[in-house]
Structure formats: C-alpha cells, structure tokens
Amino acid sequence: MTVSESPVYFLDTSALVKRYHPERGSEVVQRAFADRTARRLVSDISLIEVHSAFARRVRMGEITPEDFQAVKAAFAADVQSGRLSVEALDEMDKAEAARLVEHYGLSQELQTLDALHLAVTKRLGGAPPAHRLLCGPRLVRRVGRRGVYGRQP
C-alpha cells in the first residue's frame, strides 16, 4: 500500500470510546491507532459525544470522575498530536444527513447523529478499500447499502 493508498479510518463515537475505555471491540480500534500510515478521522460532533458518553459512564458508576478527566486529556492529546483529525460539519453535510433520514428513516431506524456521521463519511469519499468506517451496529447496517466498508469494532 503506498502513502496515497494508506488506510483512512472514520470513527463514529461508539467506536471512538473504545480507544479510551477497554470493552468489546477495543482491539480493532487500537489496531487502527497502531497503524502509523493510517489517517483517523472523526466528525466534530464526536468532540461532544465522547464527553457525553463518558459522563454517562461516571453516572452509572463504571468509571470515576478522575477517569473522566483522564479520558478527556487522552482524547485532547490525540487531537492535538494529529493522531485524530477532526472534520467539521458543514451545511452540505447537514443537508445530506436530512436526505439520508428522509430516504432511510421512513422504513428503518436512522438516528440523527448516525446520519450526520454518514454524511461526513460520504463527503470524505468513504469507499473501500482505503476508507473504513468503524462504527456501531446500527450504522454498519446502513453503510453497507451506501458502498462504504463499515466494521463494528
């Protein structure tokens, strides 16, 4: 694989949290981070969603407030170091997400945030084999129909 063919991973929040908290599927995400040739992308909504996911874990007693602070620091370090690139949502992404919800949401569940992640993935040219979407099970079912290689970690 040449540099231009280096893998690009787009992580939705359900995959991204596996980077910072060991759970089923974490090894898949860790392999994506171990690949020095790969680019790893998240949409900017993940900046909020990661905080929300770990705040919920504090409320449920799964992690401590200190763990929450450590996760925030590790996530910020990944972004600041370039290990994670943050893609900002734009108006076209929002319009595409609305179109996806209108098209798929009438016959199956497609949540707002999943539609936004899919729209960003589509804009970035998410197509196999170089682009890989690491995401939760609901989104894996959707992306296969969109021509994107999706894998549930």
Higher pLDDT, 131 or 84: 84
Query: How does DSSP classify residue 126?
Result: -
pLDDT at 107: 81
Question: In which element (H, E) is residue 91 found?
Answer: helix 91-104
**What is the number of other CB atoms lying within 10 angstroms of the CB of residue 134?**
26
Where exactly are the structural domains of the chain?
3-144
Question: In which element (H, E) is residue 65 found?
Answer: helix 65-81
**How many angstroms separate the CA atoms of 47 and 1, rounded?**
31
Q: pTM for the complete prediction? A: 0.77
Q: What are the tens digits of pLDDT across the range 8-57?
A: 888 888 889 999 999 888 888 898 899 999 889 999 999 999 999 999 99
Domain 3-144 in CATH 3.60.15.10: no
pLDDT at 3: 47
Q: What are the tens digits of pLDDT across the range 94-141?
A: 999 999 889 888 887 788 888 898 888 888 775 444 456 666 555 544
Q: What are the tens digits of pLDDT across the range 45-69?
A: 999 999 999 999 999 999 999 999 9
